[in-house]
């Protein structure tokens, strides 16, 4: 009998790709998802992209009865159910805390009553805050949060005590968390809660810290989703991508197919139990470069990125993944290059509709003093 796996939040972007990955390897897959309107639209029906072999249970991860029902006959759980978005988390504090923190607690209490063999929780690079840095001499530097005064002056980069500009370096799992948003705090709570309860009750548990995921099925009308999907949404509507600061901030963009494979490897690797892993590409790209690449592959290269010079409270400057641990323990190696991934994304975007809510989201942040 093949392993029966539950994915909470599995009707979403990453969860549905994981379902495909698991089905292809002979697993049976059940999904618990509330089909949140911000992600799935107002009609809240089963997504067309969700494989017919997936058993979909529509329910809330905060509902103990729904969670207990979803766990019947399950051998392993992927906990992906989460409210996602750094900016929105800074004013919808109750919602993010309910879904991410309380939802995880509800799941874990159900697992205490009826333990499964394994648990994999989706964590986030956001909990690092700023990534690791080095000075011109190659010495490691840990930085904090940029001050509002620094941001108002448009001094985006970090500098060493002698005034030299610090250079971003790959960020390992050993870097201490530096929480700059409610979302980041909630993801750290999800991670620690799962590892703690897993250890106490003999459930082999691992946490995967996803970096900036991209690929088909991302919610294009959700202005708080990944930046690459936000750029695509703007371009579909013949508007230029809008970029905060000067556009030279660096991020790690990783294909959803690589993330799905890493998730499967975490389930199949005994040494993953009790561990935390970065899942990224291990490459740094500037946001300005990404915006132009997306425009190019969509045939809208004339829509040059709009560099706003504005900033958002809690935004970091640079962060990209050190994936050494995932390579050595999980056997994880990114397979999809950025060029390949963007070409496939462009093909999927043809015929997609998107409601551009970026201006509305920016106005909401500005009204609360969170974007200036």
- 238-253 burial by CB neighbour count: b if 16+ within 10 A, else e? ebbbbbbbbbebbbbb
Total number of residues shown for the chain: 372
Q: Which two tokens stand for residue 220?
A: 């294009």
- Please state the separation of Cα 219 from the chain's center in Å: 13
Would you say 334 and 147 are in contact if contact means Cβ atoms under 8 Å apart? no
Strand segments (E) across the chain: 4-8, 28-33, 55-58, 76-79, 118-124, 132-134, 140-141, 167-169, 204-210, 212-214, 242-243, 250-251, 253-255, 276-279, 285-286, 306-307, 318-319
- DSSP state, residue 102: I
Alpha-carbon distance of 73 to 307, in angstroms, equals: 52
Q: Which residues are catalytic?
A: 183
CB contact set of 310 (below 8 Å; sequence gap of 6+):
244, 245, 371, 372
Q: List the strands of the sheet with 318-319, edge to edge.
A: 285-286, 250-251, 318-319
Q: Is 351 exposed, middle or buried (0-12, 13-18, 19+ CB in 10 A)?
A: exposed
């Amino acid at each position: 009998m093949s392993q029966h796996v539950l994915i909470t939040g599995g009707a979403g972007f990453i969860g549905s790709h994981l379902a495909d990955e698991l089905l292809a390897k002979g697993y049976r897959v059940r999904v618990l998802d509330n089909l949140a309107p911000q992600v799935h639209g107002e009609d809240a029906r089963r997504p067309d992209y969700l494989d017919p072999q997936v058993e979909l249970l529509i329910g809330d991860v905060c509902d103990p009865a729904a969670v207990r029902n979803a766990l019947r006959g399950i051998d392993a759980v992927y906990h992906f159910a989460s409210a996602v978005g750094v900016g929105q988390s800074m004013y919808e504090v109750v919602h993010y805390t309910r879904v991410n923190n309380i939802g995880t607690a509800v799941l874990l209490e159900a697992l205490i009553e009826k333990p499964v063999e394994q648990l994999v929780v989706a964590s986030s690079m956001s909990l690092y805050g700023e990534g690791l840095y080095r000075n011109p001499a190659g010495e490691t530097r840990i930085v904090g949060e940029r001050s509002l005064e620094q941001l108002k002056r448009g001094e985006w980069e970090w500098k060493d005590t002698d005034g030299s500009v610090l250079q971003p370096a790959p960020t390992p799992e050993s870097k201490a968390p530096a929480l700059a948003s409610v979302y980041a705090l909630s993801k750290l709570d999800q991670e620690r809660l799962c590892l703690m309860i897993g250890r106490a009750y003999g459930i082999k548990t691992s946490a995967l810290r996803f970096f900036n995921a991209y690929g088909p099925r991302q919610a294009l009308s959700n202005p708080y989703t990944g930046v690459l999907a936000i750029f695509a949404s703007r371009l579909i509507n013949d508007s230029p991508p809008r970029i905060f600061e000067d556009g030279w901030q660096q991020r790690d963009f990783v294909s959803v197919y690589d993330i799905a494979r890493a998730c499967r490897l975490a389930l199949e690797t005994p040494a993953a139990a009790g561990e935390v892993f970065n899942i990224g590409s291990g490459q740094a790209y500037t946001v300005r470069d990404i915006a132009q690449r997306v425009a190019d592959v969509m045939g809208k290269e004339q829509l040059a990125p709009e560099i706003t010079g504005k900033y958002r409270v809690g935004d970091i400057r640079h962060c990209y993944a050190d994936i050494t641990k995932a390579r050595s323990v999980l056997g994880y190696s990114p397979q999809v290059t950025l060029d390949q991934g963007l070409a496939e994304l462009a093909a999927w975007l043809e015929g997609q509709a998107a409601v551009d809510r970026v201006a509305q989201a920016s106005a909401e942040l500005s009204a609360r003093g969170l974007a200036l």
